[in-house]
Amino acid sequence: MTAATTHLPKEARYCADTFNGAVAAAALSAAWDIGLLDELADRDAVDVPEFTARTRTHPEAVRRILVALSSRRIVVVDAGPNLARRGPGFDEAFRTRGFFYWLTRGCGELFTDLTTLVRTDERADRQMRRDSRAISVACRSIARNFFDPPLRDLLDGIDYTTVADLGCGSGDRIIMLAERQPAIRAIGVDIAPGALTVAGEAVRDANLTDRITLLRDDVLNMSPRPEYADAELVTCFLMGHDFWPRDNCVKTLQKLRETFPNGRNLLLGDTCRSVGVEGPDLPMFTLGFETVHAIMDQYLPTLDEWYSVIDESGWRLADQRLIELPAFSFIFHLTPA
Ligand SMILES: C[S@@+](CC[C@H](N)C(=O)[O-])C[C@H]1O[C@@H](n2cnc3c(N)ncnc32)[C@H](O)[C@@H]1O
């Protein structure tokens, strides 16, 4: 091969970019895990030999990670590479790192197994394996960057002393909600042990074990229990699509009123199925989100379908925020009808 291979015809360039993008997506997640992304964010330059010696990481593998990131202009590297700096694409990649992590670490096994999972006869025996720890870490970053700013805005108009967060994942939101006032008590509910482990560590690190209780429960099958009785605010983020299909969603929303008899406010935030965008126009995340849920046979409602269940479920839309990234996302502020 000669240097001429760098001047590829347009179609071949698309193809090479697709390949390089797949490598760079995995590299971005690994770079975040080993602390390299944060160092790039905080410093003018990262000295690769110094970084790999200090973090006990494999020098050549870290160099390849940086080269993969440089192929998408996320970093700029020297010839070694022994020095790496932020590239023009760094800030956006850093802001959206949770999407990459969700895809490669959280859902990687689904894609490795995709051939089996698309064959009707073979998929029946296969477990749909996702990494709940990685998904909770990814969602923490996605939520902090994209859902928490509009959420804080809505919270300013809501008084509460006890809050329950359903599908609490990493526990980040329940900590944020508890930290708003020293008198607040909070309950985080999740079904996945991996998520509850991450949440437990976060609650301990925040010194909030006296005010935050973590419970393993199935949000789709909840019954009243003493811990739930006092919650005036119920929040549920990035799992509302699990309530669907429609009849189940209506029942789950109705049941929340019985499970939380004092629940005067429900804040529900999620990403919907896209409408009217296709092919090269698909935005960040949408393609991965919809593909993964199709593989898992999990229905994703559109925004209009969400609107259509509110009244029927005994709730009223008091306020809302529509979110641009992830595209087709919302936060509803619901109150009992
Ligand atoms: C995509 S993550 C979102 C985590 C968190 N709410 C956030 O915003 O970062 C969805 C979470 O819902 C939990 N979950 C899914 N189905 C559930 C169910 N039926 N009952 C309780 N938790 C559930 C998952 O284990 C996971 O932690």
CATH number at residue 18: 1.10.10.10
Nearest protein CA to atom 11 of ligand 1, as residue: 167
Dist. CA 238 → ligand 1 center (Å): 7
Please report whether residue 184 resides in a domain.
yes
Query: What percent of the chain is modeled with pLDDT above 90?
Result: 95
State mean pLDDT over 17-40.
Answer: 98
Kindly report the pTM of this predicted structure.
Answer: 0.94
* 28 and 138 share one domain: no
* Ligand 1 site, residue 139, Cβ cutoff 6 A: yes
Same domain, 32 and 159: no
CA–CA dist 89, 25 (Å, integer): 13
**Cβ 222 under 6 angstroms from ligand 1:** no
Which residue's CA is minimally distant from atom 12 of ligand 1? 167
Residue 206 lies in a domain: yes
Residues 211-235: what's their mean pLDDT?
A: 97
With a cut of 90, say whether residue 71 has pLDDT above it.
Answer: yes
Tell me, yes or no, whether 161 and 303 share the same domain: yes
**Is 257 within a domain?**
yes
Residue ending a domain, among 41, 72, 95, is: 95
Q: How many domains does the chain have?
A: 2
Average pLDDT value for residue range 79-86: 96
Mutate which of 130, 135, 146, 191 to test ligand 1's pocket (most atoms within 8 Å of Cβ)?
191
**267 touches ligand 1 (CB under 6 Å):** no
Q: Are residues 25 and 88 in the same domain?
A: yes
Residue 3 covered by a domain: no
Pick from 165, 190, 244 the residue to mutate for probing ligand 1's pocket: most ligand atoms within 8 Å of its CB.
Answer: 190
Burial class (CB in 10 A: 0-12, 13-18, 19+), 47: middle
Mean pLDDT of the chain: 96
Strand partners, 335: 316
Could you tell me the two tokens for 214? 């973590």
**Same domain membership, residue 44 and residue 164:** no
Span from the CA of 282 to the centroid of ligand 1 (angstroms): 25
Atom of ligand 1 nearest to the CA of 192: 25
Q: What is the pLDDT of residues 178-208, one digit of tens each?
A: 999 999 999 999 999 989 999 999 999 999 9
Q: Is 238 in the pocket of ligand 1 (CB under 6 A)?
A: yes
Final residue of a structural domain among 69, 95, 121 = 95
What integer is the mean pLDDT of 131-141? Answer: 93
Q: How far is the CA of 152 from the centre of ligand 1 (A)?
A: 20
Verify that 84 and 170 share a domain, yes or no: no
How many CA atoms within 13 Å lie on the side-chain side of 50?
Answer: 6
Residue 125 forms part of a structural domain: no
Q: Is residue 231's pLDDT more than 80?
A: yes
Give the distance (Å) from ligand 1 centre to CA of residue 176. Answer: 17
Is the domain of 156 the same as that of 304?
yes
pLDDT digits (tens, 9 = 90+) for 281-332: 999 999 999 999 999 999 999 999 999 999 999 999 999 999 999 999 999 9
Is 103 inside a domain boundary? no
Q: What is the pLDDT of residue 7?
A: 83
Same domain membership, residue 172 and residue 77:
no
Model confidence at 1: pLDDT above 80: no
Split at pLDDT 50, 70, 90, the class of 126 is confident
Residue 4 has pLDDT above 60, yes or no: no
Give the pLDDT mean for 88-111: 98
* Whether residues 192 and 325 fall in one domain: yes
Indicate which residue's Cα is closest to atom 4 of ligand 1. 169
143/46 same-domain check: no
Q: Is the pLDDT of residue 267 over 80?
A: yes
Ligand 1 center–CA 157 separation, angstroms: 25
Question: Are residue 142 and residue 65 in the same domain, yes or no?
Answer: no
274-293 tens-digit pLDDT: 999 999 999 999 999 999 99
CATH number at residue 179: 3.40.50.150
Residue 54 has pLDDT above 90, yes or no: yes
**Owning domain of residue 201:** 132-336
Ligand 1 in reach of 135 Cβ (< 6 A): yes
* Residue with CA at minimum distance from ligand 1 atom 25: 192
**Which of 287-324 are b and which e, b meaning 16 or more Cβ less than 10 Å from the residue's Cβ?**
ebbbebbebeeebbbebebbeebbeebbbeeeebbebe
Tell how far the Cα of 136 is from the centroid of ligand 1, in angstroms.
Answer: 8
User: In whole angstroms, what is the distance from residue 64 CA to residue 20 CA?
Assistant: 12
* 131 token code pair: 């990494």
The answer to whether position 43 is within a domain reads yes
Last residue of a domain, one of 49, 76, 95: 95
What is the arithmetic mean of pLDDT over 129-144?
94
Cα of 196 from ligand 1 centre, angstroms: 10
Examine the domain organization and report whether 140 and 88 are in the same domain. no
Q: Is 191 in the pocket of ligand 1 (CB under 6 A)?
A: yes
What is the layout of strands, in order, in the sheet containing 83-86?
A: 46-47, 83-86, 75-77
Residue at 237 is within a domain = yes
Q: What is the mean pLDDT of residues 5-33?
A: 93
Average pLDDT over residues 107-118: 95
Atom from ligand 1 closest to the CA of residue 218:
20
C-alpha span between 299 and 192 (Å, rounded) = 20
Q: 258: Cβ below 6 Å to ligand 1?
A: no
